[in-house]
């Protein structure tokens, strides 16, 4: 009988740059970066995900990183009121609040954390979602979120390959100066921007892919992980999509996460990850009879395993401490 393979696997070579549990990872970009960031967090890696909220286009990501590099915080002049809420054009609505003081406090606290984190980050993962941007007509600057302001406030245009490459050539040089050991991993989000239209979405994704290819030619510390290709080619069936038929399903996200792990994790890192996940599962167990001898013995086994892990990897102490809060 013929052995049919009803898919087209995306072949991935293991990366020479391996992510370990000692590394710090920062992620900025579309909601797909949130999906992988959540997986990294739940696997006990040191990760900072989207300090400005979800960002969809390359320029919003680069402008946000430039502010972090320059440690250029935010003031009252950077926020505005709309529909009884205070917003920032640099941030998603998750930072918005009815109080301008609370909005600024939320923004600045998160900003300060990430400024410090970026200086010591080992891997920076950037996920581009779309080449389309909205520019504030008053300031002629790209905004990260329109916050439901009327369309007449903005100009909508599509970035060119040359524009993206020019911005990121300067940005990567700045990042290298700030943190010479930093390694960058770019991805293109597999989430389709269907409101742009099928053809326009494909043109947009093509611009993003070609821009990243040019950056790979320019910089040795730039890598590309093909999340987009895995979803579009290997997982092309609609059973790998959520109910909106645009976002990847949980199964697809988990599959791409496995591919990412195989590419960037060593066997040793995978072993540590497996032990930590088993420990978390045990610690999150809620018994029917907490006073029973069996459960007391079970707790002792957990404590023994936790101590064994910390004896081997003492740098995990702070991450294991809050293990039962990671659900």
My answer on whether 245 and 285 are in the same domain is: no
pLDDT in tens, 29-55: 998 899 999 999 999 999 999 999 999
My answer on whether 254 and 280 are in the same domain is: no
The first and second tokens of residue 174, run together, are 């700045």
Report yes or no: 31 and 94 within 8 Å, Cβ to Cβ.
no
Which of 228, 244, 265 terminates a domain? The answer is 265
Q: Please report whether residue 15 resides in a domain.
A: no
My answer on whether 211 and 288 are in the same domain is: no
Q: Write b or e for each residue in 119-154: b if 16 or more Cβ atoms lie within 10 A of its Cβ, otherwise e.
A: eebbbbbbbbbbbbbbbeeeeeebbbbbbebeeeeb
pLDDT at 3: 55
My answer on whether 42 and 114 are in the same domain is: yes
Q: Please report whether residue 2 resides in a domain.
A: no
My answer on whether 218 and 283 are in the same domain is: no
My answer on whether 72 and 161 are in the same domain is: yes
Number of domains in the chain: 2
Helix (H), strand (E) at residue 203: helix 198-218
Q: How confident is the model at residue 273 (pLDDT cuts 50, 70, 90)?
A: very high
- Among 210, 66, 186, residue whose Cα is nearest residue 131: 210
- Among 7, 36, 61, residue whose Cα is nearest residue 265: 36
My answer on whether 43 and 100 are in the same domain is: yes
pLDDT in tens, 68-110: 999 999 999 999 999 999 999 999 999 999 999 999 999 999 9
pLDDT in tens, 217-270: 999 999 999 999 999 999 988 888 889 888 899 999 999 999 999 999 999 999
Which of 230, 265, 300 terminates a domain? The answer is 265
pLDDT in tens, 163-196: 999 999 999 999 999 999 999 999 999 998 888 8
**Position 322 pLDDT exceeds 60:** no
Give CA–CA dist 236/19, Å, rounded.
28
My answer on whether 183 and 279 are in the same domain is: no
Q: Please report whether residue 8 resides in a domain.
A: no
CATH number for the domain spanning 208: value is 3.40.50.1110
My answer on whether 49 and 186 are in the same domain is: yes
Q: How confident is the model at residue 283 (pLDDT cuts 50, 70, 90)?
A: confident
Report yes or no: 126 and 28 within 8 Å, Cβ to Cβ.
yes
Q: Please report whether residue 158 resides in a domain.
A: yes
My answer on whether 133 and 173 are in the same domain is: yes
Phi and psi (nearest 5°) for 181?
Answer: -90, 5
DSSP for 101-164? Answer: HHHHHHHHHHHHHHHHHHHT-SEEEEEE--SEEEEETTT--EES--TT--GGGEEEEE--HHHH
My answer on whether 261 and 271 are in the same domain is: no
Domain extent for 280: 267-327
Q: Please report whether residue 19 resides in a domain.
A: no
My answer on whether 142 and 106 are in the same domain is: yes
Predicted model pTM: 0.92
Give CA–CA dist 209/316, Å, rounded.
36
**Position 291 pLDDT exceeds 90:** no
Q: Please report whether residue 259 resides in a domain.
A: yes
Long-range contacts of 280-283 (CB under 8 A, 24+ apart): 280/42, 280/44, 280/323, 280/324, 280/326, 283/323, 283/324
């Amino acid at each position: 009988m013929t052995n049919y393979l009803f898919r087209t696997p995306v072949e991935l070579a293991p990366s020479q740059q391996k992510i370990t549990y000692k590394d710090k990872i920062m992620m900025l970009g579309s909601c797909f970066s949130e999906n992988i960031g959540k997986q990294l967090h739940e696997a006990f890696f040191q990760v900072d995900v989207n300090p400005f909220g979800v960002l969809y286009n390359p320029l919003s990501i680069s402008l946000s990183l430039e502010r972090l590099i320059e440690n250029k915080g935010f003031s009252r002049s950077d926020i505005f009121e709309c529909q009884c809420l205070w917003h920032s054009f640099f941030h998603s609505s998750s930072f918005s609040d009815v109080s301008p003081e609370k909005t600024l406090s939320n923004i600045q606290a998160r900003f300060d954390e990430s400024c410090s984190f970026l200086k010591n980050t080992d891997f920076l993962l950037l996920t581009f979602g779309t080449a389309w941007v909205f520019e504030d007509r008053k300031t002629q600057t790209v905004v990260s979120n329109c916050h439901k302001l009327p369309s007449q406030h903005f100009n909508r245009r599509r970035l060119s390959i040359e524009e993206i490459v020019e911005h990121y050539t300067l940005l990567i040089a700045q990042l290298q100066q700030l943190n010479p050991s930093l390694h960058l991993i770019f991805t293109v989000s597999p989430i389709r921007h269907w409101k742009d239209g099928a053809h326009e979405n494909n043109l947009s994704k093509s611009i993003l892919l070609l821009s990243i290819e040019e950056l790979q030619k320019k910089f040795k510390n730039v890598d590309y992980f093909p999340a987009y290709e895995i979803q579009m080619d290997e997982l092309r069936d609609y059973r790998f999509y959520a109910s909106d038929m645009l976002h990847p399903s949980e199964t697809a996200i988990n599959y791409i996460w496995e591919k990412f792990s195989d590419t960037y994790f060593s066997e040793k890192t995978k072993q540590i990850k497996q032990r930590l996940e088993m420990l978390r599962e045990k610690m999150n167990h809620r018994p029917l009879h907490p006073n029973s001898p069996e459960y007391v013995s079970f707790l002792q086994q957990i404590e023994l395993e936790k101590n064994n892990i910390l004896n081997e990897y003492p740098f995990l102490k702070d991450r294991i401490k809050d293990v039962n809060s990671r659900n």
